[in-house]
Amino acid sequence: MNFLSFLIAKRLHQKNNTTLLISILSKIGISISIFVLILSFSALNGFQILIKKNILSALPHGIIVLTKKSILNWKDITKKIRFIPGIIYSEPYIFMNSILLKNNEIKFFNIKSFKNIQYIKKYFSFQKKLFNFSKLSHMNNNEIILSSDLAESFSIREGDFINLIILNKKINFNVKKVKNYTFKVKSIFYANKISNSNIGLIPFTFFQKKLKIEKKIDAIELYMFDPFQAEEIISKINKKVKQPLFFYTWINNYKYIYHDIKIIKTIIYLTVFLIIIISFFSVISISLRLIDKKTKDIAILKSIGASNILIQLIFFFYGMRFIFVGNLIGLITGVITVVNFKKIMFFLEKIFKDTCLLKNIYFKNFLLLKLELLDLVIIFISTLMIAVITNWYPSYYALKIGPNKILKEY
C-alpha cells in the first residue's frame, strides 16, 4: 500500500506554470536554509576549535591553589593528578608582576614560569612564519621569551638585553636595594591580542636558583585535552586529592566565550528553522491547491474502496517529495562547500586579488569551518520531523472529502 500511494502521488504532480514555480521556489528556500544552517554550525565548530587551539592554549585551563590547611605541597599534588584522564600536563604556576627597563623607559608587564620547553609551543600558534623550535631547546636562566606587543613597544629584537624589576609578595624587597635582573631576549612570539599580549616567559630554574621561592610555590597550572571539560576534570581532581584547595578554571575569567558559543548556536538553529518552516508553508499551499483540484479523483478512489490511510499517504508523500529534495540539495551543497572551503576562498582571492573585496577579510585570520556528523544528523532528522508535522494537515484535509456529494455534481 505504501508503494502504491507513492506511485499515485508521483502521478498527481501538476505541470502547470504556477505550481511549478511555487514548487521550485519552495525547494530553493528549503535548500538555502539547510545550506546556511550547515555553514553556520560549521563556522561555530571551527570557532570553538580556534579558541581551543589559539586562545585557550595560551591560558592555564585550570589552576589549583594550595591553602594553609593543605598538608601536601605542589610536588605531591602533581604526582597525584598525573594519571587523571583529560589532563595533558601540570606544573608549578608562577605568575608575577614586573617592570621592564630599557632606554630610560619603563613598562609594567607579567612574567610567567615554564618547566618544559615542549609546552610553550602553544604561544607560537599565531606566528606569521614557520618557527624553528630547536633554538629554544637550551634556554639559560637569564633568557626570556617576549610577546610581540612588548617587543614592538620598546623596539626589542632577538638577542637584545633588557632589565627587569620583579614585584611579588613572596619576595621581601628592601626599597633601597631593589635588584635588577638582566635578561637576554631569546625569542619573540606573535601575540594573539587577547590573552598573552603583555607577558614574558622565563625558565622555572630562574625562580628556583635566583629567587629561591620553590618552597613558597602554592599554585599549580593544568592543561587539558578538552578545555571545555575543565570544570568536570577539576571535580575529579577534588575527589581524588581530598585536600582543602582552591580551584579555578579559564571559564571563571572567560565565561562569556564558553556560553556565547552555545547561545549563538541555539539562536542560529531556531532562526533558520523558522525560515525552513515558512518554506514548508508554501509546500502545504501546493498540497491544498492540488486537493481542491483533485476532489473528483479522491472521490473515485474512495468509491472503489481506497482506505483513509491510502488517501492520507498519497498527499503525505506528495508534499514530502518537495521537502526531501530541498533538504537533500541543501545538505549536499553545504557539505561540498565546507569540505572545499579553502579552495573556494583561494579561488575568490585569485579572482578578486586586484580589488578591495577580500582584503583584510576576517576569514584569513580567524575563520575555520569544521563539519560534524552529529550536526548533519540533527539537521536532517529535525527537518524531516517538521516536514511530517506540516504535511499532516493536507493529508487530513483530503479525508474530509465525501465521495457521494462530489460524484453527484458530475
The last residue of one of the domains, among 201, 226, 253, is 253
- On the question of pLDDT at 142 being above 80, the answer is yes
Same domain, 292 and 167: no
SS3 content of the chain, % helix, strand, coil (to 5): 60, 15, 25
Comparing 160 with 169, which gets the higher pLDDT? Answer: 160
Same domain, 245 and 272: no
Same domain, 395 and 268: yes
Residue in the structure block whose three cell numbers are 608582576: 97
The reported pTM is 0.61
Same domain, 40 and 79: no
Same domain, 129 and 22: no
d(CA 96, CA 220): 14
- On the question of pLDDT at 276 being above 60, the answer is yes
Q: How many domains does the chain have?
A: 2
Least trusted range by pLDDT, from 9-23, 205-219, 278-292, 361-375? 9-23
Same domain, 144 and 93: yes
Q: Residue length, the chain?
A: 410
Spell out a b/e string for 268-300, using b for 16 or more CB atoms within 10 Å of the CB, else e. Answer: bbeebbebbeebbebbbebbbebbeebbebbbe
Spell out a b/e string for 11-32, using b for 16 or more CB atoms within 10 Å of the CB, else e. Answer: ebebeeeebeebbeebbebbbb
pLDDT of residue 363: 47
Residue in the structure block whose three cell numbers are 586586484: 354
- On the question of pLDDT at 292 being above 80, the answer is no
Q: Which of 18-27, 67-76, 88-97 has the highest mean pLDDT?
A: 88-97
Q: Which helix (H) or strand (E) holds 179?
A: none
Residue 258 — very low, low, confident or very high, per pLDDT cuts 50/70/90? low
Same domain, 38 and 73: no
Short-list 337, 332, 298, CA closest to 315: 298
Same domain, 104 and 218: yes
- On the question of pLDDT at 219 being above 50, the answer is yes
The last residue of one of the domains, among 227, 253, 279, is 253
In the chain, the percentage of residues whose pLDDT exceeds 70 is 70
Q: Name the residue range of residue 31's domain.
A: 2-52+258-353+360-409
Kindly tell me the sign of the dihedral angle through the C-alpha atoms of 98, 73, 77, 245. negative
Same domain, 69 and 205: yes
Q: What is the mean pLDDT of residues 326-332?
A: 86
d(CA 29, CA 33): 6
Q: What is the mean pLDDT of residues 158-176?
A: 71
d(CA 112, CA 208): 13
pLDDT in tens, 37-61: 888 888 888 877 777 766 676 778 8
The last residue of one of the domains, among 205, 233, 253, is 253
Q: Which residues pair with 65 in a beta bridge?
A: 219, 246
Same domain, 321 and 364: yes
**How many other C-beta atoms lie within 10 A of the C-beta of residue 193?**
13
Same domain, 66 and 39: no
Same domain, 202 and 313: no
